[in-house]
């Protein structure tokens, strides 16, 4: 016998929240205060569909003040919607990132730490490459899941690499990080761009000004959310919206 389950559509929740003028961040805050676990709220916010018990769906109906039938649909098989990797850079998520990067001909290696919440990222056999990625990524799931690119440096190893090649490489890498974030249910990407003068980091391949332009081309917006100083700019890109 196949057990039936509920299939909650996040898009439906977005429409309901939008109609009631509830920001997504507030929905997460209200839902946890209402008694839903942070893990459950994270799944509802991050996944296009989420399987849950009827008691939880009834709580959501009460919280949003909508009829139960408006909130749910039925499905005979929920296995394809279940994902127990709630936090951080799990093996399944790293595979998604690796697959994205491999389409650009880049093979990454990871050093994951802090209970899967942070990792150092670099191109495999970096010193043998014309140019390579050297970065530090973090995932914050205290609320809606956010990806933080603490560093995202593209390093040039050759004197004959052209500026066009270097810029294109940086653009392609960042675009694939955006694709990865969308696929694993990240709500927002935070990217810090370090300002450098001509005497610093001579082997870094793309200037801060060029990196800022790449960010804008990929839909990032400059933010003062985390404060700012003369050495860093903070860019954000929101992926999940109404």
- In this prediction, residue 171 carries a pLDDT of 94
In terms of domains, do 53 and 126 share one? no
In terms of domains, do 77 and 97 share one? no
Cross-sheet strand order for the sheet of 72-75: 49-52, 5-9, 72-75
In terms of domains, do 117 and 136 share one? yes
In terms of domains, do 29 and 127 share one? no
Domain hosting residue 47, numbered range: 5-81
pTM beyond 0.85: no
In terms of domains, do 118 and 189 share one? yes
Helix (H) or strand (E) holding 137: strand 131-140
In terms of domains, do 45 and 165 share one? no
Angular region, 201: left φ>0, alpha ψ -120 to 50, beta rest: left
In terms of domains, do 36 and 68 share one? yes
Asked whether residue 11 is domain-assigned, the answer is: yes
Counting the structural domains of the chain, the total is 2
CATH code assigned at 230: 3.40.630.30
Give the pLDDT band (50/70/90) at residue 185.
Answer: confident
Highest average pLDDT, of 37-41, 73-77, 99-103, 151-155, comes from 99-103
In terms of domains, do 106 and 164 share one? yes
In terms of domains, do 18 and 44 share one? yes
């Amino acid at each position: 016998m196949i057990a039936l389950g509920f299939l909650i559509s996040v898009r439906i929740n977005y429409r309901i929240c939008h109609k009631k003028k509830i920001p997504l961040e507030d929905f997460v805050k209200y839902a946890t205060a209402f008694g839903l676990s942070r893990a459950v709220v994270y799944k509802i916010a991050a996944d296009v569909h989420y399987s849950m018990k009827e008691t939880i769906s009834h709580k959501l109906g009460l919280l949003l003040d909508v009829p139960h039938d408006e909130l749910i649909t039925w499905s005979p098989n929920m296995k394809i919607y279940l994902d127990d990797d709630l936090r951080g850079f799990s093996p399944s998520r790293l595979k998604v990132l690796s697959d994205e990067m491999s389409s650009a001909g880049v093979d990454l290696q990871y050093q994951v730490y802090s209970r899967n919440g942070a990792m150092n990222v670099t191109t495999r056999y970096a010193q043998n490459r014309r140019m390579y990625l050297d970065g530090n990524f973090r995932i914050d799931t205290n609320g809606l899941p956010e990806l933080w690119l603490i560093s995202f440096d593209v390093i040039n190893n050759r004197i004959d690499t052209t500026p066009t090649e270097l810029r294109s490489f940086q653009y392609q890498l960042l675009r694939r990080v955006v694709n990865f974030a969308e696929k694993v249910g990240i709500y927002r990407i935070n990217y810090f761009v370090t300002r450098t003068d001509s005497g610093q980091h001579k082997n870094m391949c793309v200037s801060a000004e060029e990196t800022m332009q790449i960010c804008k081309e990929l839909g990032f917006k400059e933010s003062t959310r985390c404060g700012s100083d003369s050495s860093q700019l903070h860019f954000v890109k929101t992926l999940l919206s109404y």
